């Protein structure tokens, strides 16, 4: 049985913790989190670059910081990860990253042990879950990356994958926007893939409360006009941009 590759918290331990979900349709819900390491995309504004931008990785990021892989990555068996999650005593688990669906094999092994917990997976929408994972998932939070992320469209917006998630009623779409023009891209994707508007969130990009509030000033009337839902980033207001929150 292969190990999971996890991100680390500030103490170097696996990033498995309990908190309130800060974004999307489950915002405010008490949950357990597990953050997996590694990602197949590289967003210039990524707030978890410590999961992928290791020394030697030259993909652009606005902070231009690289991380020591040995310090920021740890291998954990599915059994040990499941035990740590169960010990948190939560009814719902959020699997995040990085891109967690890059580790379908060991992730399926972990979920087979946690057979009574509700499961929510956060994904960039470029990968599909294996059948052994999909059967255990209650909710997908799909966050396709727009052009301002710095990712090429042929890597970030794969038609087959977007079709797959748009047709799944468990999937909610969350688009990160930094300026009003970004919403034009969302409009085009919503029309092309017929994403139901009641399953589509717009969320301001930002890692501090002031930036989020400033962008929500113009984002909220756009959501009202277009019929999209708006997501805050509640954890940023509560805890700041910190690991393990």
61-99: pLDDT as tens digits: 999 999 999 999 999 999 999 999 999 999 999 999 999
Quickly count: other Cβ atoms within 10 Å of residue 213's Cβ.
13
Span 180-201, pLDDT tens digits: 999 999 999 999 999 999 999 9
* CA gap 110, 95 in Å, rounded: 11
Average pLDDT of span 132-136 = 98
Alpha helices by DSSP H, listed for the chain, are: 69-72, 78-87, 104-113, 131-134, 153-156, 159-166, 182-193, 209-226, 234-239
Q: Is the pLDDT of residue 1 over 90?
A: no
177 Cβ contact list (under 8 Å, min separation 6): 146, 148, 183, 186, 202, 203, 204, 205, 215, 219
Domains of the chain with bracketed CATH: 4-239 (3.20.20.70)
Place of tokens 């913790």: 17
Q: Is the pLDDT of residue 168 over 90?
A: yes
């Amino acid at each position: 049985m292969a190990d999971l590759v996890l991100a680390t918290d500030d103490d170097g331990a696996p990033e498995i913790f309990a908190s309130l979900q800060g974004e999307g349709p489950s915002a405010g819900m008490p949950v357990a989190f597990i953050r997996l390491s590694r990602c197949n995309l590289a967003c210039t504004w990524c707030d978890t670059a410590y999961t992928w931008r290791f020394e030697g990785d030259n993909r652009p990021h606005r902070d231009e910081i690289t991380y020591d892989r040995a310090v920021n990555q740890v291998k954990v068996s599915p059994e040990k990860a499941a035990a740590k999650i169960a010990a948190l005593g939560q009814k719902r688990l959020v699997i995040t990253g990085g891109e967690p669906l890059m580790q379908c094999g060991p992730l399926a092994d972990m979920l087979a042990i946690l057979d009574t917990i509700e499961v929510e997976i956060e994904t960039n929408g470029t990968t599909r879950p294996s059948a052994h994972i999909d059967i255990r998932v209650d909710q997908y939070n799909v966050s396709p990356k727009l052009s301002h992320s710095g990712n090429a469209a042929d890597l970030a917006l794969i038609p087959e994958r977007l079709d797959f998630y748009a047709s799944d009623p468990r999937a909610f779409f969350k688009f990160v926007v930094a300026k009003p023009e970004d919403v034009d891209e969302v409009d085009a994707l919503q029309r092309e893939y017929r994403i139901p508007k009641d399953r589509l969130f717009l969320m301001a990009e930002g890692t501090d409360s002031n930036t989020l509030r400033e962008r929500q000033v113009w984002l909220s009337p756009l959501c009202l006009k277009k019929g999209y839902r708006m997501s805050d980033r509640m954890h940023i207001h509560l805890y700041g941009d910190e690991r393990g929150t």
